[in-house]
Amino acid sequence: MRILHIAPENFAGIPIRLVKAERNLRHDSRLITMMKSPQGYEEDICLELPLLRNSFFPTFRSIFSSTTVIDSAKRKISKRYSWKPSTPFHTLFHQCRDFLWEAKVKSTVDQLGGLDSFDVIIADGGHDLFKLQEYISTSKTPLFSIYYGSDFRTRGVFEHIHSKSKANFTFEYDHILIDPSMDFLYFPYDKPLEISLHEEKNEFIISHSPTNRKAKGTDRILEVLYQLASEFTFRIDLIEGVSHQESLRRKAQSSLFIDQIGELGYGVSSLEALSLGVPTAVELLPDFEKHLGKHPFYVLHSNTLFNDIRKTLHSIQKNEYNPQMGIQWVKDIHSTTKIVERYLAKINDVLYL
C-alpha cells in the first residue's frame, strides 16, 4: 500500500518509527510533519510551518485562547471532547495562519502526487495539516487516526477527522474507557542499536526524565528521594532539556529509573530504560496493570510512595532484578513491527472485508 502519515510533529520519534516499519513490510510510506521535534528526532518531510513553536506564538496563545494544563488525573475525564476555537480572536488567528500555510502545504502534497494518490492516510494525533481548514478529510483516500495521549484527552478531537476516520487507534489505555470504539495499541518501541546495555557502576544513580513536571509528579518524587537520602547512598539525575541521544546515554548509566506517579502509566521513557536493562519504577492503575499481565516494572503508588521506593531500592541492592526480563518484555510487547502489523491488519479488514 501507499501510506501517508500526517503529524504536527514527530512525537517521541513514534511516527517516523511507524513509517520505517511500514517500509520494512514493503509499503510505500511517507510522513509529513508540520514542525521539527525539539528532541531532534529524524524527519521525513518537515514543513517547518511558521507560528507554531517560537517565542511569539505561546504568548499569543496565552492571551487569545484557553489552554488546558496536562496533569496526571486523566481518569477524571469521562467523555470525549471536541476541539474548537475558544474566542473570536482565536478563530481569526487560526484562519490567518491556515491561509499563510496553504500554499506550502498543498504544493508539498502535490509533489508527492496529491492526497488521492495514496491508498491510506493516517492522521497521527488525529490532526490535519491545518487547524480550521478541512483538508485531508476531503480526500477520496480512506482516513484513519492514531491518538498518542493528550491530543485526545486534553486538546480534544477534530470532529472532521475523528468522525471520518474509518478506524481510530490509540496508544493510551484510558482512551478506550472514554471511547470504547477505539482500538488500543501498545506504544511501538525498538531499542536503538547504538546504545549499550546497562553496565554496573560504582555510583548508584536514580534518574527521572520529566517532559512535564506536574504530569510526572516530579516534585513529589524528588521530595521522597531527598527523605530516603539519609538511608541510602545515591545521586539523583534529573534528565530534562537535553537531546534524545544524551537522554538515552544518561538513562543507560542509571541504577534505577523512576518514570512517574499518577494516572499516566508508563511511556517511552520507561521502555527506553527497560530495554537498556535498567530497573524501572512507575505507577500503574489496577485495571491497566491487570490488562498488562506479567510485567517487569516496580509498581509505585502515590499514597505509599516512600515505602514503595524504599522497597524498590532494597530489591535492587539485593540483585533481585533481572535485566533480561525487561529487555525481552519490551521486545515481545512493544515491537514496532508487531504494532504496525496489527493496525495494518485492521485497516485491511476495514477496507477489503
The C-alpha cell at 104 is 506550502
Average pLDDT over residues 84-111: 95
More confident residue, 153 or 349: 349
Res 106 pLDDT > 90: yes
In whole angstroms, give the CA distance from residue 188 to residue 334.
5
Chain centroid to CA 23: how far? 21
Task: Report pTM.
Answer: 0.81
Is residue 279 helix, strand or coil? coil
Say if residues 315 and 298 touch (Cβ distance below 8 Å): yes
The C-alpha cell at 208 is 527521572
* Residue 153 confidence (pLDDT): 73
* Residue 172 confidence (pLDDT): 87
φ/ψ (deg, to 5) at 278: -95, 125
The CATH H-level superfamily of 205-333 is Glycogen Phosphorylase B; (3.40.50.2000)
Fold match, 2-188+335-352 / 205-333? yes
In whole angstroms, give the CA distance from residue 309 to residue 200.
20
pLDDT single digits (tens) 10-42: 988 899 999 999 999 999 999 999 999 887 889
How do the domains of the chain map onto residue ranges? Answer: 2-188+335-352, 205-333
Say if residues 3 and 27 touch (Cβ distance below 8 Å): yes
* Residue 225 confidence (pLDDT): 98
The C-alpha cell at 244 is 534524545
Say if residues 58 and 32 touch (Cβ distance below 8 Å): no
Chain centroid to CA 308: how far? 26
In whole angstroms, give the CA distance from residue 14 to residue 124.
9
Query: Please, which residues have CB within 8 angstroms of residue 65's CB and are 6 or more apart in sequence?
Result: 85, 86, 87, 89, 90, 93
* Residue 69 confidence (pLDDT): 40
What percent of the chain shows pLDDT beyond 90? 71
Phi-psi category of 56—alpha, beta or left, where left has phi over 0 and alpha has psi -120 to 50?
A: alpha
Average pLDDT, the chain: 89
> Which listed CATH number (3.40.390, 3.40.630, 2.60.120, 3.40.50) goes with 2-188+335-352?
3.40.50
Q: What angle do CA 48, 51, 53 make, to 5 degrees?
A: 70
84-116 burial, b at 16+ Cβ within 10 Å, e below that, comes to ebeeeebbebbeebbeebeeebeeebeeeeebe
